[in-house]
A and B are shown apart, each in its own frame.
Chain A
Amino acid sequence: QKEVEQDPGPLSVPEGAIVSLNCTYSNSAFQYFMWYRQYSRKGPELLMYTYSSGNKEDGRFTAQVDKSSKYISLFIRDSQPSDSATYLCAMSEDQGAQKLVFGQGTRLTINP
């Protein structure tokens, strides 16, 4: 069993739709959870960073963590074509986050 599971997609939705991206994990010691966005031919960039369970909102993006279910989500509201990218979840046991464990990434396309 992989430590972090993420559906690779591809996922294609119309512009304006609400997008839900998810990851599950098996290591209950993970406490820090991240979402990275990776555009084609670019390196990943940090989108959201959350600690423990709960929600965090930043503009059109909301990250949710449910540690009891070992499940994290990223919601994108009013999706735009510029949101088309691969989204990677990542998690860490320690705050220093030097040993990140990544999901496979979900390729997302927003159609105009």
Chain B
Amino acid sequence: ETGVTQTPRHLVMGMTNKKSLKCEQHLGHNAMYWYKQSAKKPLELMFVYNFKEQTENNSVPSRFSPECPNSSHLFLHLHTLQPEDSALYLCASSQGDAGEETQYFGPGTRLLVL
């Protein structure tokens, strides 16, 4: 595997379900991100982790719970979601230090909440 991978690629869940999204980066990066991409809206940054520590929580509802056990893995735990949470959830990673930064994105998980 190379780059940033995400599983599952598609997920359908009911509002009472609990599920988790997984992201793995094979780039040796130290920063990881969760974004939400909804139709006709800009990419919304949700969480940022640097060296496994959460450094940004962009006022995300508590029904989204991130977890970063190490610099290569990032999870997004989902529970009691709402239909308006249906979107493409993108994970990204970057080097995490000063210098010209590029964020590398995974293919995303397409989430549908019924």
Contact = CB atoms under 8 A, between A and B. Distances in A.
The binding surface of chain A is classed by DSSP as loop
A95 B40 CA distance: 28
B101 A43 contact: no
B99 interface: yes
A44 B42 CA distance: 12
B4 interface: yes
B81 interface: no
Given A98-B31, A98-B94, A43 B106 contact: yes
Given A45-B105, A49-B102, A103 B94 contact: no
B32 to A, nearest CB: 10
A98 B107 contact: no
A41 interface: yes
Contact of B42 (A96, A98, A102): A102
B107 A46 contact: no
A49 to B, nearest CB: 7
A97 interface: yes
A100 B98 contact: no
Interface string A93-112: 00111111111110000000
Nearest to B33: A98
Interface in B35-63: 40-43, 45, 48, 50, 55-56
B98 A95 contact: yes
B100 interface: yes
B94 A97 contact: yes
B103 interface: yes
Contacts of A92: 101
Given A95-B100, A96-B97, A98-B101, 5 more contacts: A42-B108, A43-B105, A98-B48, A98-B50, A98-B55
20 contacts: A32-B101, A36-B105, A42-B108, A43-B106, A43-B107, A46-B102, A49-B100, A92-B101, A95-B98, A95-B99, A96-B97, A97-B94, A98-B31, A98-B55, A98-B96, A99-B45, A100-B43, A101-B42, A102-B42, A104-B42
